[in-house]
């Protein structure tokens, strides 16, 4: 069976670079150290996951569809350090040295590209491991797709979702539509926090069921009063999985041991 390793590239790189930049190095030295650490880390990931295929997915600095729908999307995010942005090409080459291709779209966010790749491969019964600290990928969880938080050395799996959010992975999009996602500037429903959102979804099952409810519960009425905001948040939080990629899984196959390839 095929096993695709998907690396959320900038999620990995920015965290490595932040550590190196805090070591009293010059910007040039920090970039060199980031590249060396990236290669070592990726080698460890390959050894641990033992994938048959791999790809590193990068975010492009584009005005994506979420920004068009909601101009405040990710407005407060800390910009990428200038020296890191300038060195991205050499970091992409680092992946290439390990026979891992890079994917960077001029129109789509990495999250949607990863979701499309993962679900396309999972649909054919093949295994996928996503390397990222981004909990947003937990909405993709299924028997074929798993998520590894490399830095905290944990699996973002179904028990994690239940303990962290109090809902199922299938309810996460509706959960975030209710609570909002502060890191992306997505507001959700005013006055609905994590506990209220979990309780509402445990009682009703979904956002649309809450909106269809005739309950006199104050939290339900609050969601009704902000239905448009909740539905917009739901749209923004849900990962797209219908992007035309232009390549097949076989294009991502890693060399076999001994340097051979199929």
Give the tens place of pLDDT for each residue, 89-138: 999 999 999 999 999 888 899 999 999 999 999 999 999 999 999 999 99
Average pLDDT over residues 23-36: 93
Where residue 258 falls among pLDDT bands split at 50, 70, 90? Answer: low
Query: What is residue 240's three-state secondary structure?
Result: coil
257: pLDDT strictly greater than 90 = no
CA Rg value for the chain = 20
Output the DSSP codes for 48-82. HH--SEEEEEE------HHHHH-TTTTTTPPPPPH
Two structure tokens written together for 62: 């584009």
pTM here?
Answer: 0.94
Torsion of CA 153, 233, 7, 75, to 10 degrees: -100
Distances in Å between the Cα of 183 and the Cα atoms of 76, 78, 108, 112, 113 are 8, 10, 19, 17, 20
260: pLDDT strictly greater than 60 = no
Do strands 53-58 and 101-104 pair parallel, antiparallel, or not at all (unpaired)? parallel
Quick one: pLDDT at residue 76? 79
């Amino acid at each position: 069976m095929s096993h695709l390793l998907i690396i959320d590239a900038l999620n990995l790189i920015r965290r490595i670079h932040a550590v190196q930049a805090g070591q009293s190095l010059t910007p040039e030295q920090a970039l060199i150290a980031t590249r060396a650490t990236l290669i070592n880390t990726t080698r460890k990931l390959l050894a641990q996951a033992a994938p048959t295929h791999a790809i590193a997915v990068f975010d492009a600095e584009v005005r994506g569809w979420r920004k068009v729908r909601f101009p405040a999307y990710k407005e407060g995010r800390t910009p990428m350090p200038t020296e890191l942005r300038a060195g991205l090409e050499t970091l992409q080459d680092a992946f290439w040295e390990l026979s891992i291709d890079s994917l960077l779209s001029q129109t789509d966010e990495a999250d949607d590209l990863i979701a499309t790749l993962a679900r396309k491969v999972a649909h054919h019964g093949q295994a996928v491991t996503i390397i990222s600290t981004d909990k947003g990928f937990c909405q993709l969880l299924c028997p074929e797709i798993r998520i590894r938080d490399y830095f905290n050395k944990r699996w973002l799996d179904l028990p994690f979702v239940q303990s962290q959010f109090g809902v199922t992975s299938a309810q996460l999009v509706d959960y975030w539509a209710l609570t909002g996602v502060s890191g992306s500037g997505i507001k959700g429903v005013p006055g609905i926090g994590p506990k209220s959102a979990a309780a509402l979804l445990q009682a009703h099952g979904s956002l649309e069921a809450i909106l269809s409810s005739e309950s006199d519960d104050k939290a339900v009425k609050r969601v009704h009063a902000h239905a448009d905001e909740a539905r917009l948040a739901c749209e923004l939080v849900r990962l797209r999985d219908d992007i035309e990629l232009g390549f097949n899984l076989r294009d991502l196959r890693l060399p076999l041991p001994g340097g051979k390839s199929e």
